[in-house]
Amino acid sequence: MKVLFIGGIKSGKSLNAEKYVQTLSKTKPLYLATTEFIDDEMQERIKQHKVQREDRFITVEEALALAKEIQKHEKTPILVECLSIWVNNMLYHEKSVEDMIAEINQVMMQEKDIVFVINDVSCGVIPENKLARDFVDANGKIAQLVANECDEIYHVVAGIATRIK
C-alpha cells in the first residue's frame, strides 16, 4: 500500500503520517528522514521532529537514494519524510527532474507499505527567482507522480487530515 500526506508547511501532515504508518505494523516502522543538516534553523526542525517521534521508529537518514534505502528493508512499513526536502536535496546536488522521476519510479515499483509526506506548494504565486520556480515545478511533478500511484491520499490542514483519494 502506498499513501500520501500532502499539506502546507506546519499543517500537521508529518504527525498524521507518523500515526498512520504505525497502524500498518505491530513493530517499529522505518522513518526515512531526507533532511540534510544544512544550517542551524534546519537542525532545529530536525530536533523537533526527533522529539515528536520519540523512539516509536527506526530512523534512517538518506538525502538522495530513496529507492536503494527502501529496498534494504523487507517487511517494515516505511515513512518517507519528506519528499519536498528530498526534491530540494536533488536540486542542490544538481540532479534533474528526470533523475527525480526515475528515482521515484523505482520507489513506487517496490511492493512495500510506504507512507509519503510532501508539501503542497501549488497555492502560492509564481516565485520571482529561477531556483524557487525550479523547486515549485519539480515538487509539483513529484507530488502528481506519487499521488497517481498511491492507494490513499490525505490533505492536511490545521492538523486535520481529510482523505481525498
Catalytic residue positions? 49
Contact (Cβ atoms closer than 8 angstroms) between residue 48 and residue 81:
no
152-157 β-sheet, strand order: 58-61, 30-33, 78-81, 114-119, 2-7, 152-157, 160-163
Q: Are strands 2-7 and 114-119 parallel, antiparallel or unpaired?
A: parallel
Q: How many Å apart are CA 62 and CA 81, to the nearest integer?
A: 10
